[in-house]
Structure 1
Amino acid sequence: MFESASPPLVILGVGIIPLDCLYYHEPGASEPILQEVPGGTITNALCALAALGNCEPSLVGVVGDDDAGNRIVNHCKNFGIRTDGLRQKPHGVTRHLRIDLFPRPDVPGEQKVLREFEERCIASPRDIKLGAWWRNALPKLDWLHCDATAKPVQTMVQQAVSAGKIISFDFGRTARWGMKGPLEILQHVAVLKTNRHLLSQLLGSAESEDGACLFGRFPALRVALITDAANGMELLWKSNATIQRTTRAPYPVPGGADALGAGDAALGMLIHCLGMTRELWWNGNAGFTETFATEILSQVSAISALCCTHRSACGYLLHLREQGKSLLDALAEIRKNSHRTAYEK
């Protein structure tokens, strides 16, 4: 675990929290193996951040008061993620069967699984209850990341903005599902103002040369091209923590791209990409090495630019890995074919 003289970054993530049921093939096995893991971009990202160290992550959302919900809560606690704001709603359904990594006719029972996927739903962030836990959390909070746009989330955003906290969004949701939530939120709150000192610590810029920053041990992270294909923003992190940006957004952003705040957009895309990269935490903290993190995050644009959805991007990466390609070779192939969707391949 990374030792730092600086206080840990306190980050709170709010979003949809399913329990994903994924099939994968063990070499030589006659039957596919079912693995159940907490899913959703925000959960994945917080697990990765917790593994990086010098971070106090908390998860906010709604899961069912059932075995699947209990499994999610326990998994998060095992990763060092606080769950004070995680509500377990009676009769809530949290199991989200996600068998869309790749069409596999050879997988026994695939049709049954697909039907079950269609019949189930996910507990909604609309049921988040803001109470004492939120009043206690807000003063200590450094960064709020949102992967949901329900009314309780908008309230959290407004109060966090007023308190001068870093705010970031998963903007990909807007383009993928036709939702206007993040844009509506931006229209209802003041222009997001990033805490520049904290951002400097996070990126390890000239203002934080002592290396006591969250990603200070990963120099490659300072030169990472991060692309959000959904809203068309490209950010280039340079060693001096300045950000260059080009836009090719398919829809107008209120106030133009600059209204987002370069720092806020960068943080949002970082956690968005961390969440997409399931392999960062599938093997637990022990498997999260500096080399692997540097490789995957310094080339994270290849994953994010692949296509319009998290699932097909992750699925295609896993598909290539199952074929025996190394991580870097798989990323290179994804980047080469990034103009096509995973299912076209």
Structure 2
Amino acid sequence: MKKLLIVDDSAFMRKLITEFFSENAHIEVVGTARNGRDALEKVRILNPDVLTMDVEMPEMTGVEAVKQLMIENPKPVVMLSSTTTADAAITMEAIANGAVDFIAKPSGTISLDLDKIKDDLIEKVIAASNIPIEKLRRKERISKIPIKKPIFEKPIIVEKRIQEKTNQVWHKNHKKIILIGTSTGGPRALQEVLTRLPKDIKAPILIVQHMPPGFTKSLAKRLDQLSDITVKEAEQGDLLQPGTAYIAPGGYQMTARKVGMTYSIHIDEHAPVVGGHKPAVDVLFDSVATLTDIDRIAVIMTGMGADGSKGIKMLKRSGNTRVISEDERTCVVYGMPKSAEKTGLVDRVAPLDEIPQAILNYLY
């Protein structure tokens, strides 16, 4: 059994979360802590495999504790956050500094109805507890300078000859769209990729990151501040522009549509959950599969589950598509990329730091 430390300034919340895991066959609660400072001390004593961490606490907040923890003694951390704008921004900062995932409390700091997210919390904690410690350590890039002209003396990875099976001919001067799907570990992966794309990239970028309502705007704002390209939370009717990344808003399904000679975004709050997700990668990919006059570069990165795999099949059947999946070595959770690779339709498997260049290589 993996050992869990629960960190929350509310005694009621500590007790409730402890009860969630009382009969779990995979997770044993070995202790609780009332704030970030207490958590760091308990980690030294109890050596847990995984932590749940409240965002707002006295003496030392959750994000401050995560920063210190990743320096002293890295452990997988699942953040618990309310859906306020301030807490959402802090949660994104915690994830940028090493937390692997988060879950939104259904009704604020002290959620009497926390049982609504019991199953999701347990699933996320179990997944986090199995993440190797070396994948939590943040690797700083030697240079943030984006590659504007991808020049390859020889291929980094020998690509599968998908065009021989599908009769798809890849023309670099065709109009293109970039699609990215990701989940657990996605915010940090998106930061690694988007910050290395040039401002004048010749394609729009549509992104589905599995997140609940209230968090995607903070994610988009943070990535926009760090990137040369424009990054925004997608809005109804947005016309797709090269050099702009559109992140599907949490709690909505996002699709793309043809409007005259261009393309636009459609946001649907009432569309059903698909595969347990809203937004879902498959929903976006399926919609782009109907746009047969544009070439697609589809990227699947770290995350639990299989979202995106069905959509890849639709994209490949309907038109020119190249698929890139993140290599297992760099995935925080090797779920979605593994499922994508099982389709046999992935053109390129690349570690995270090579994905930006792989994208550019298909564009130019």
**Shared topology, TM-score over 0.5?**
no
> Could you tell me the TM-score, scaled by structure 1's length?
0.33
Q: Which structure is larger by alpha-carbon Rg, 1 or 2?
A: 2
Higher RCO by CA contacts (8 Å cutoff, separation 6 or greater): 1
- Structure with more helix by fraction: 1
